[in-house]
Structure 1
């Protein structure tokens, strides 16, 4: 039996990656769908674990070869996408695929798979709190943070296109809500 798909999307800094990492440690038969990107690797990241890091040329070649389920040029020259081969590999092994993708990517995956996918939107308590989280990461320059905050305000308008919305004000409660909605989705036939 093919595994189901669970999509987590949110503006950068809302906590989706933290929630997805927590869910992967639970007994939910989940495997992480590693996205591809053309952005540079951060000092805390590993190729093939956090992302498949590609050059912009390699990424565009895979676009031309229709190898992506979804992809987007998030910032000029910076691409993110989900390789079809990655999703097929996980599903045919009978595991449920969990995605940590941007908002547009999440909408595109949900549109492609319909009821086979659960789309969850992780929302920060406020845009100001989101800015504080991005600053505290110490991974981006101030101008990059401001670009991300501006994009986040736009991405928040997509929340109503998702099956579930989790407001991440209290991380423990966000973990509990995420686990509950996934268990219900997996149990449904």
Structure 2
């Protein structure tokens, strides 16, 4: 019984907790895991490809998609809309692919409450400590002290919603966290909701049983 539905894998964390690295490792582990391509109303940047980096849309088209139920989740950020189109995600999970979402707790909540919520697996990554989180942000060497302070406040806002997720991992060792992440995905793929052939299989077992009793 190899046929299965794909998962909507939501991976969230504060900035600096290792989410991007673990997402890359997860995709390298299994090519059936694909990134969700977001839609946005902002203009393409140099080198960005429509349909690959983002689905670029007008404000009117985006709002029409939202009003028609075509977005799994959406948000308005710095004057532009961002969201996850539902149709390609539904097609992917029907084909047995897992779709990986790099979104915050608000987007995660919207997806869990959608009509595809049954197939959602949500995982939150915590840093080992606030000091370590701050050290990782400083080590990037990209931000001013003021920007780091803003990122730390935003990080705490994200951490405060940790209890809304199916699984929570403390990322104090990247390799160990990766192993746990793979175990969670492997187990979630075996949920009854992800195995569309189970009902038919049980009916066959029932038929065989009844034939043996006659």
Whether 1:100 and 2:134 are equivalent positions in the alignment is no
Alignment correspondent of 2:164? 161
What is the alpha-carbon distance in structure 1 between the residues aligned to residue 52 and residue 137 of structure 2? 18
Aligned with 2:123: secondary structure?
strand
Runs of 5+ consecutive residues of structure 1 not aligned to the other structure: none
1:131-173 Cα distance to aligned partner (Å, 9 max, x none): 2222333444543332221111111111111000011111111
**1:59 Cα deviation from its structure 2 partner:** 5.2
Q: Give the drift of 1:122.
A: 0.9
1:144 matched to 2:129? The reply is no
Cα root mean square deviation, aligned: 2.9
Structure 1 or 2: larger strand share?
A: 1
Counterparts of 2:143 and 2:180, CA distance in 1: 30
Unaligned ranges ≥5, structure 2: 193-214
**Inter-partner Cα distance in structure 2 for 1:123 and 1:40:** 33
Query: Which structure is larger by alpha-carbon Rg, 1 or 2?
Result: 2
1:88 aligns with 2:90: yes
The 5 Å alignment of 1:51-62 reads 51-52=53-54, 54=56, 58=58, 61-62=61-62
Describe the SS at the equivalent of 1:152.
helix
How far off its partner does 1:123 sit? Answer: 1.1
Would the aligned equivalents of 1:121 and 1:162 in 2 still touch at CA under 8 Å? yes
Which residue is 1:63 aligned to?
A: 63
C-alpha contact (below 8 Å) 2:62/2:81 kept by paired residues: no
Which of 8, 11, 24 lines up with 2:11 in the alignment?
Answer: 8
Tell me which moved more, 124-133 or 169-178: 124-133
Q: Which moved more, 1:178-187 or 1:33-42?
A: 33-42
Are residues 185 and 103 of structure 1, via their aligned partners in 2, closer, same or farther at CA, if it must alter by over 3 Å? Answer: same
Change (3 A) 1:48 1:163: farther
1:99 Cα deviation (Å)?
1.4
Report how far residue 176 of structure 1 moved: 0.7
Partner Cα distance (1:37, 1:133) in 2 = 29
List per-residue Cα deviations over 1:93-118 (Å, max 9, x = no partner): 32111211122112221222333111
In the alignment, the residues of structure 2 paired with residue 78 and residue 33 of structure 1 have an alpha-carbon distance, to the nearest angstrom, of 18
Question: Do the aligned partners of 1:11 and 1:103 also contact (CA within 8 Å) in 2?
Answer: no
Alignment check: 8 A CA contact 2:39 2:56 kept? yes
- For the structure 1 residues 158 and 42, does the alpha-carbon distance in structure 2 shift closer, same or farther, using more than 3 Å as the test? farther
Q: Per-residue deviation at 1:49?
A: 8.4
Q: TM-score, normalised by structure 2?
A: 0.72
Distance 1:89 1:146 in 2: 41
